[in-house]
Amino acid sequence: MNLETLQLFCDLVEMKNFSRTGQLHGISQSAVSQQVAQIELEHKIQLFDRKKRPIELTGPGEIFYRASKDILDRYNQLQSDLSLLSRSICRIRMASIFSIGMHTLQPYIKKFIKAFPDVNLAVEYLDAKDIYDLLLRGSIDIGVVAIPKRNRNLQVFPFENEPLLLVCSPEHPLSKQERMDVHLLQGEKFIAFAKDIPTRVHLDSLLKEYNVSVQTIMEFDNTETIKRAIEINAGIGILPKASVQTEVTAGTLVAIPFSNEHFYRPTGIVVRKDHQLNKAAQYLVDLMRKEFDTSL
């Protein structure tokens, strides 16, 4: 007797129909009957009361059914465990928007690699729309985005709240401010994110809350190009603190905190609800959620 025969028997018990069970397994009704008869012959028991319609299990049939289900469940769990183990020693596929991946994410990746040096962590830098699409298709395990959106098939965990700063060239008049009143941005030339970028929507909302209007003279889909435009004093911008630290240290940009309140950009870790992460991937998610002492 093999697992296929056990599965056929269990399906027959649940469907109570020889013909439909045969269709499910791609065999004839008589072939189903023959396999059931073979089990009965080998174990010297009668599995079904064939006089009743629909068919019903006998006492020995009930015992055989419970044992068969247990064997099949154990085998399926074995397959799942082996598959999980196989995935855990292969790779973790992560995608992040560029500004988070290149700056905020890096300390977490370093700590993860130290804990799991043999795991192949592949990190791609993509726009948020592509990250959501890949997650829903099952092409990546973990996504990291700004201003995460809700989806019934995705689970979102909070990551870092990135402080937002006023960023300008050292040559700009506002560069002398130690703290920035957001109202001083009124009418200033502004280098913005493109309109379809979630961070743009977030920043527009913040400025609207303070009734501040800026002159949007350039729009880009990434922080790196925005920084280059600000460096040549084409205008000012509002960017996450982590994304401008290199330029601030080099003296090519000035970053000033706001005095009104602590503006920040929420970021999130996104995974598919029906996707079971392997041990290493779950550690990475928990690490980013600060479930461990990160010492960062």
- Return the ∠ at Cα 239 (arms to 234 and 242), rounded to 5°: 125
* The token pair that represents 78 in the structure block: 């074995």
In this structure, are 141 and 176 located in the same domain? no
Q: Per the domain annotation, does 155 fall within a domain? A: no
- Whether 132 is covered by a domain: the verdict is yes
Do residues 95 and 81 both lie within one domain? no
Specify whether 251 is located in the same domain as 184: yes
In a domain, 34, yes or no: yes
Of the candidates 254, 269, 246, which has an alpha carbon nearest to the alpha carbon of residue 157?
Answer: 269
| Cα separation, 184 vs 225, whole angstroms | 24
Residues 164 and 215 in one domain: yes
Cα–Cα distance, 172 to 222 (Å, whole number): 22
In a domain, 72, yes or no: yes
CATH number at residue 56: 1.10.10.10
20 sits in which H/E element = helix 18-25
Q: What is the DSSP letter of 53?
A: S
190 and 253 share a domain?
yes
49 and 123 together in one domain: no
Got the DSSP string for 147-180? SPPP-TTEEEEEEEEEEEEEEE-TTSGGGG-SSB
Structure tokens at 214: 């800026």
Tokens (6 digits) for 26: 């791609």
Residues 167 and 73 in one domain: no
Which domain does 239 fall in, by range?
160-265
Residue 153 lies in a domain: no
Beta strand pairing call for 215-220 and 189-193: parallel
Q: Are residues 140 and 70 in the same domain?
A: no
DSSP string, 94-145: EEE-HHIIIIITHHHHHHHHHH-TTSEEEEEE--HHHHHHHHHHTS-SEEEE
Asked if residue 118 is part of any domain, the answer here is yes
Number of domains in the chain: 3
CATH code where residue 245 lies: 3.40.190.290
Q: What is the pLDDT of residue 52?
A: 85
In degrees and rounded to multiples of 5, residue 204 shows phi and psi of -60, -40
Q: What is the pLDDT along the chain (296 residues), one digit of tens a residue?
A: 689 999 999 999 999 999 999 999 999 999 999 999 999 999 999 999 888 888 899 999 999 999 999 999 999 999 887 776 665 456 899 999 999 999 899 999 999 999 988 888 999 999 999 999 999 999 999 999 999 998 899 999 999 999 999 999 999 999 999 999 999 999 999 999 999 899 999 999 999 999 999 999 999 999 999 999 999 999 999 999 999 999 999 999 999 999 999 999 999 999 999 988 988 999 999 999 986 544 44
Predicted pLDDT at 82 = 76
Rounded to an integer, what is the distance from CA 201 to the centroid of its chain? 22
Do you find a cis peptide bond into 170, omega within 30 degrees of 0?
no
State whether 21 and 73 are in the same domain: yes
Cβ pair 128, 156 in contact under 8 A: no
